[in-house]
């Protein structure tokens, strides 16, 4: 296999934030310090390399330990288990800054924190918390979350992955698909049905016989993160690896709520990056003897971008406040995820037009963000499913059951 040569960009990341309505006034000093530290981390560890990583479909395994060192894994998990003990607005800001760097990088971090550490913390035993959480928080271990199956995406309750009680262990069979972190993960939090058809979570460790993680290749999206399958062929899972806290579809959906909330913040970062790139390019690009920023249609695009980013910031902040107070419901998170991802994708497309032909090159981040967001608008609840979740809330009539 040919060695991949990663090139460091010579372009300086000078991003200083987008805050038209002084939304920083809603943040505490701690929130702003956390955001600054992650912004500096992204400028140093992600921005100089991300275009080369994406162009080469290369996942930098060294970033895992670095994420652990900077506190990007499980910032909302209590400190006693290695987490940051931070609130949900802090978590959102961390996701925003990482996704400004790249959606694939944010996927790596949010899967670890919201879909692996959170279920172990929320539904695991004390022994499981002590065994896994500190190592996941530090980046010593990487985890993944197995819910989606080849034939069951938006309908996870139809899953066929199952386990049987064999007396001194469980026997797990089935497969999961589109799993972020899978090819490099040390553990997988897997959702499967028992013999009565009840869904439970199990912790499956790399090295267990019959457990494999084939990598998904030829992706046009999230090229700097690793994606794969989880295949279980008569895997013997120790009984102590069952998450004892709760069963049913509720627990994995609670995990997804936490992750979707992080997405609602994260995509603001991608939108900001596209907006800032378009604003600077429009000021520098000369056509008809003047900068294209002087033309009405370009000003219209930039004005609409800034307006939509500002609205998304306020929506994310309000849902974050509700998360901190324990008042946020799935429908609130669905609205924020759906609105903000669509906002970011629209901004990426408009920014690409402002950049003209240069917008399709790796000289600018636009096309990379656009391709990434095509995954983000589908995973962890598709754009249409979130619309129908809201429709159900409004009418009381479920449209997808």
Pairing of strands 162-165, 143-146: unpaired
Check 99, 149, 276, 380 and give the catalytic one. Answer: 380
228 strand-pairing partners: 179, 215
**Is 325 marked active-site?**
no
Enumerate residues 6+ apart whose C-beta is below 8 A from 228: 179, 182, 183, 213, 214, 215, 216
- Reading the block at residue 143, the tokens are 């985890």
What residues are annotated to the active site? 380
């Amino acid at each position: 296999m040919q060695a991949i040569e990663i090139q460091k960009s010579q372009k300086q990341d000078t991003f200083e934030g987008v805050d038209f309505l002084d939304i920083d006034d809603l943040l505490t000093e701690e929130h702003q310090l956390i955001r600054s530290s992650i912004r500096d981390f992204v400028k140093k560890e992600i921005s100089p390399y991300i275009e080369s990583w994406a162009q080469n479909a290369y996942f930098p395994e060294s970033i895992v330990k670095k994420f652990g060192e900077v506190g990007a894994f499980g910032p909302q998990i209590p400190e006693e288990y290695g987490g940051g003990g931070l609130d949900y607005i802090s978590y959102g800001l961390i996701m925003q800054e990482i996704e400004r760097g790249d959606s694939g990088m944010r996927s790596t971090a949010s899967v670890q924190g919201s879909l692996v550490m959170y279920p172990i913390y929320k539904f695991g035993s004390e022994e499981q918390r002590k065994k896994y959480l500190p190592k996941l928080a530090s980046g010593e271990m990487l985890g993944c979350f197995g819910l989606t199956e080849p034939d069951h995406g938006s309908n996870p309750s139809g899953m066929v992955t199952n386990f049987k009680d064999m007396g001194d262990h469980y026997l797990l069979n089935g497969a999961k698909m589109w799993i972020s972190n899978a090819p490099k993960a040390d553990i997988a939090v897997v959702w499967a049905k028992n013999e009565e058809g009840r869904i439970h979570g199990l912790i499956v460790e790399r090295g267990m016989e019959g457990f494999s993680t084939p990598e998904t290749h030829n992706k046009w999206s999230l090229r700097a993160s690793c994606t794969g399958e989880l295949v279980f062929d008569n895997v013997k899972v120790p009984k102590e690896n069952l998450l004892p806290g709760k069963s049913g579809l509720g627990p994995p959906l609670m995990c997804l709520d936490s992750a979707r909330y992080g997405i609602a913040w994260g995509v603001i970062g991608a939108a900001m990056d596209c907006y800032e790139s378009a604003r600077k390019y429009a000021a520098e690009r000369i056509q008809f003897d003047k900068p294209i920023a002087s033309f009405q249609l370009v000003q219209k695009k930039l004005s609409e971008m800034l307006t939509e980013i500002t609205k998304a910031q306020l929506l994310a902040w309000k849902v974050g406040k509700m998360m901190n107070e324990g008042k946020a419901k799935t429908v609130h998170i669905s609205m924020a995820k759906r609105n903000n991802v669509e906002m970011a994708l629209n901004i990426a497309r408009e920014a690409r037009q402002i950049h003209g032909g240069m917008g399709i090159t790796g000289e600018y981040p636009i096309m990379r963000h656009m391709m990434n967001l095509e995954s983000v608008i589908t995973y962890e609840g598709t754009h249409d499913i979130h619309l129908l979740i809201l429709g159900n809330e409004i009418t009381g009539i479920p449209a997808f059951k």
